[in-house]
Amino acid sequence: MISFNQIPLTLLTPGTFVELDTSRMQSGLPQARTRSLIVGQKLGTGTAVANTLYRVLSAQHAKTLFGQGSMLADMFAGYFANDATTEVWGMGLADNGTGTAATGTIAFTGPATAAGILELMVCDTRVQVAVTSGMTATQIGTAAAAAINGYADLPVTAGAASGTVTLTARHKGLESNGLYLALNYHQGDVTPAGVGVTIAGIGSVVAGAGNPDASQVFTALGDQAFQTIVHPWNDATNMGIIEAALADRATALKMNYSEAYTHNPGNFSALTTAAASRNSPYAPFTGMKGVPSAPWKVAAAYAAQIAFSARTDPGRPFNTLVLKGILPPLPSDQFTRQERELLLEAGVATLMVNANSEVCIERMVTTYKTSPQGFADTGLRDLNAILLLYYLSWSQQARITTRYPRYKLGNDGGNYAPGQPIVTPKQIRAELVGLAKEWESAGLIENIDQYIADLRVERDATDPNRLNSFQRPDLINGFQVLAALIQPIA
């Protein structure tokens, strides 16, 4: 007997009735729906309500929602410069009310003895100040503050008094400490004659303190799915909150897989210290000092590149992907290859500057280094490994639930009529073998014969409505190193 979903067996009305079942129309591997979420701090000038999700359509839209000059507006600018095709949402948190905004100063001396251009770099914005001969320190400071305030997208505001410009972060919290502030960043920049400049970095005069609580994000998020999450926070408390939340979302009964990305602009010592206390495959962070762009913008830029690439092929390494819109650190600030080697070993994902002076991903590793039993474990060291597992899990779920909706479960060898919605252990095993061959064809796994030999699908001994399966896929590996020995002969 053929089983119908929509046409009752007792139908009496004359006519021809056709039921459409599209469950077998999908061919090839399913394409996962991917969404990105950018979270950070908002300004009161934005229209968005705190702790609320908004679909964001452009960088300008983000300015309206979260406030011009906000870290979120900067993050969306960095994201859209690198990925304009993924569906992106945003959530703004209010500053911590008990926090402190970081400040720094630029102190001038004068008078100028010749006309020229004072070249300042405030984050990744080139601020030029026209100086005329005879200008006093006070006049130069006033002109510099006005020039800085002319850039409303900057994450700082400026005020001048007696030749000293004080820069104050728009946001309270730790993440504004160390925002880039320099003189003569570009080759060929020259300070006008007679002008002296002394810079005290942002956060060195008054240190920013008091980040928001990242748990607000996951309370507001609930079970909504986002595969890519970008955040600005590097403090240990918030990193722990994020790691724990994503680990919980990735459990078997939820399968709500996400990776959260941030950037840490610390020096070598600070980065290795930050990584030492972390051991998670869910919240990797890149480390690179001296990048003019704000760290939250760097995080959004590389997360966008990862989101775009992983959507096409989660197994393909992210090495060499260029972060568009991110300026490189000066050569004196760039880590050496030996330092980057040690950072990778510590669990810090590394960026580098290529031959075209572009910032690019060198290698994306996670902070996972040790098994729950306390032994060294490299299985999830590379980000691609966990992304591959996410896709294998999701695609298997999609295949089985799409092709066998509302099916009954029978034993192998039963004399079931054609058309009956009954599935057996052997049928599911065959389906899994077919899916694994598609994984292999797509370059996601290898050693398919071993997978098939290890595969088990059996009916549960105590629950007749349940099938249990054991699978051991061999994930494809990234081509990271070629070691060659050249031994010429005469």
- Residues 135 and 101: beta-carbon distance below 8 Å: no
- Residues 288 and 85: beta-carbon distance below 8 Å: no
Q: Check residue 86 and give its pLDDT.
A: 94
pTM of the model: 0.93
- Residues 185 and 169: beta-carbon distance below 8 Å: no
Asked whether residue 257 carries a pLDDT value surpassing 80, the answer given is: yes
Instruction: Lowest mean pLDDT of 1-15, 70-84, 226-240, 368-382, name the range.
Output: 1-15
- Helix, strand or coil for residue 256? coil
Give pLDDT tens digits for 319-336: 999 999 999 999 999 999
Nearest to 237 by CA among 199, 283, 203, 197: 283
User: 3: pLDDT confidence band, cut at 50, 70 and 90?
Assistant: confident
Question: 202 φ, ψ to 5°?
Answer: -65, 125
Amino acid residing at 96: N
Give the CA-trace dihedral at 329, 332, 333, 335, to 10 degrees. Answer: 110
Q: Do strands 101-109 and 164-172 pair parallel, antiparallel, or not at all (unpaired)?
A: antiparallel
Q: Check residue 12 and give its pLDDT.
A: 78
- Residues 448 and 454: beta-carbon distance below 8 Å: no
Q: Do strands 445-446 and 474-475 pair parallel, antiparallel, or not at all (unpaired)?
A: antiparallel
DSSP string, 103-131: EEEEEEE---SS-EEEEEEETTEEEEEEE
Read off the tokens for 226.
């986002």
The rounded distance, in Å, linking the Cα atoms of 334 and 288 is: 8
Asked whether residue 5 carries a pLDDT value surpassing 90, the answer given is: no
User: 145: pLDDT confidence band, cut at 50, 70 and 90?
Assistant: very high
DSSP 8-class letter at 231: -
Read off the tokens for 16.
């021809």
Across the chain, mean pLDDT equals 95
Asked whether residue 459 carries a pLDDT value surpassing 90, the answer given is: yes
Q: Check residue 24 and give its pLDDT.
A: 66
Q: Check residue 287 and give its pLDDT.
A: 98
Q: Check residue 9 and give its pLDDT.
A: 77
What's the rounded mean pLDDT across residues 223-250? 97
The rounded distance, in Å, linking the Cα atoms of 384 and 347 is: 14
Instruction: Lowest mean pLDDT of 252-256, 299-303, 339-343, name the range.
Output: 252-256
What's the rounded mean pLDDT across residues 450-479? 96
What's the rounded mean pLDDT across residues 230-243? 97
Identify the residue whose tokens are 């309270």. Answer: 172
The rounded distance, in Å, linking the Cα atoms of 11 and 23 is: 24
Q: Check residue 382 and give its pLDDT.
A: 97
Q: Check residue 15 and give its pLDDT.
A: 74
What's the rounded mean pLDDT across residues 378-386? 96
Distances (CA, A) of 466 to 392, 423, 436: 21, 11, 21
Q: Check residue 25 and give its pLDDT.
A: 64
Strands of 153-297 (E only): list them: 156-161, 164-172, 181-183, 196-200, 228-230, 259-264, 285-287
- For 271, what's the count of Cα atoms within 13 Å in the CB-facing half-sphere? 27
Q: Check residue 17 and give its pLDDT.
A: 74
Other CB atoms within a 10 A radius of the CB of residue 416 amount to 15
The rounded distance, in Å, linking the Cα atoms of 122 and 185 is: 10
The rounded distance, in Å, linking the Cα atoms of 364 and 348 is: 8
Q: Check residue 107 and give its pLDDT.
A: 98
> Environment class of residue 185 by beta-carbon count within 10 Å: exposed (0-12), middle (13-18) or buried (19+)?
middle
Q: Check residue 90 and give its pLDDT.
A: 98
Q: Check residue 453 and give its pLDDT.
A: 97
Peptide bond preceding 317 in cis form (omega within 30 of 0): no
Q: Check residue 1 and give its pLDDT.
A: 61
Nearest to 292 by CA among 363, 201, 425: 201
User: 23: pLDDT confidence band, cut at 50, 70 and 90?
Assistant: low
Q: Which stretch of DSSP H or E encloses residue 89? A: strand 87-93
Asked whether residue 2 carries a pLDDT value surpassing 90, the answer given is: no
Asked whether residue 33 carries a pLDDT value surpassing 80, the answer given is: no
> Environment class of residue 328 by beta-carbon count within 10 Å: exposed (0-12), middle (13-18) or buried (19+)?
buried
Q: Check residue 6 and give its pLDDT.
A: 81
Rg (CA), the chain: 28
Q: Which residues contact 41 (CB under 8 A, 6 or more apart)?
A: 70, 71, 72, 92, 93, 94, 95, 171, 173, 212, 232
Q: Which residues contact 36 (CB under 8 A, 6 or more apart)?
A: 79, 83, 86, 87, 88, 89, 226, 227, 228, 229, 230, 303, 304, 307
Asked whether residue 88 carries a pLDDT value surpassing 90, the answer given is: yes
Q: Which residues contact 62 (CB under 8 A, 6 or more apart)?
A: 56, 72, 73, 75, 76, 77, 90
